[in-house]
Amino acid sequence: MEIARMTENVVAQPVSLFEMAQKQFDQAAAYLDLSPGMRAFLREPMRELTVTFPVKMDDGSTRVFKGFRVQYNDARGPTKGGLRFHPHENIDMVRALAAWMTWKTAVVDIPLGGAKGGVVCDVKELSQRELERVSRAYVRQVGRLLGLDVDVPAPDMYTNAQIMAWMMDEYAVIKGHTEFGVITGKPVELGGSLGREDATARGGMYVIREAAKMLGMDTAGAKMAVQGFGNVGKYAATLGEELLGCKVIAVADIGGGIYNPKGFDTRELFNYAMRHGLVSGYPEGERISNAELIEMDVDILVPAALENVITAENAPRVRARLVAELANGPCTLEAEAIMQDNGIYVIPDILCNAGGVVVSYFEMVQNAYDYYWDVLEVHERLDKKISAAFATMHARAPEFNNDTRLAAQALAIERVANAVRLRGWCD
């Protein structure tokens, strides 16, 4: 089972991700006519659970793991959000990601709320059997919060379709019957959707295409750099070439980056990374650092790794014309202000990387009807949904000084606030 590798932060930042998410909320909410009670309610998660659970290891010892599940807001529907297995996972990070998922589902207008979860562990140190035990034990602890009409997890960092299959099966053991729709990102053989594996990156490419049209940029031959070469980054590179005609001249992962001014054969590079784990040894490129990639002279920069890779320190040296946030929170608020002043168009993460949750929603719909679409139908529906969301955001941007993040956040907050009002929770 391949576990996607992710890049680390280019610059270590002592930034609280949840504080960052709340500051983003505050900036957008300041433009909206929200009551003090509504603003206070939407700044905080509705429910969160921290659990500890023992797992028997292969050597006979018992190890205790910590896990989290945060359901940020369910006014618009059941909460939805990924599960991360990472040694540095913490409740602050999970809160932030659950908040962003809430705004993400709202900005693309699907009838779901936002959630996130995770387990503090290093999957590289676990055997397959240990990984399965951790996955099942986590579900036994948080299963009381899950359900098709309550909260539906999905894969995220260092989790995948196999882990989702174990979790779905454990939930079936608890309930006494199978509910395929309780978890998405499953193998196709167990009710998963075609088109889910590359959905996050594919949705991002559709949004880049729409932004390029608006900017008058021809993507054919446009220079692209991808920072992060995990599951999302690998597909971003290949689809950037295949769907948009971009010339991918630089990629990077945890081991560093490579550069080729002539552009890479992205499929060959994808296969190399799958075989070797890292791109740094690829023979057809010159070695560069992650920091050098961020500041490279390209048309399109795709941060597809972790948070806070573009900061106030390096933002003045970003030379891309368009920055597409396929990672969650890759740019600090200070960095975004600098890039906006420099005329760089930023596609915010809550829209740019929403393709994964859109296709996860499609998976829920297919599970409910027990009728499954072919991959072309999935792609067409994703394209229609996410392109419409971009058009709505772009139309609203002039109301917010053409700040795309403010426009996207405000649109999402408005939709959630309206649902809260209609339910009678807050005025």
List, by residue number, the catalytic residues: 116
Distance CA(159)–CA(137), nearest Å, equals: 15
Cross-strand partners of 223 = 247
Q: What b-and-e string marks burial along 357-379, b requiring 16 or more CB atoms within 10 Å of the CB?
A: bbbbbbbbebbeeeebbeeeebb
Angle at 313 between CA 394 and CA 326, to 5 degrees: 40
- 8 Å CB contact between 167 and 143: no
Q: In what order do the strands lie in the sheet with 286-288?
A: 286-288, 256-259, 247-253, 223-227, 300-303, 322-324, 345-347
Contact between 52 and 142 (Cβ < 8 Å): no
Q: Which two tokens stand for residue 109?
A: 């207008």
Phi and psi at 282, nearest 5°, equal: -60, 125
- Please tell me whether residue 265 adopts helix, strand or coil conformation: coil
- Calculate the alpha carbon distances from 310 to 20, 25, 222, 305 in Å: 14, 19, 21, 11
User: Cα separation of 84 and 21, whole Å?
Assistant: 18
Long-range residue pairs from 317-321, CB within 8 A, at least 24 positions apart, any chain: 318/294, 318/342, 318/344, 319/295, 320/225, 320/296, 320/344, 321/215, 321/217, 321/345
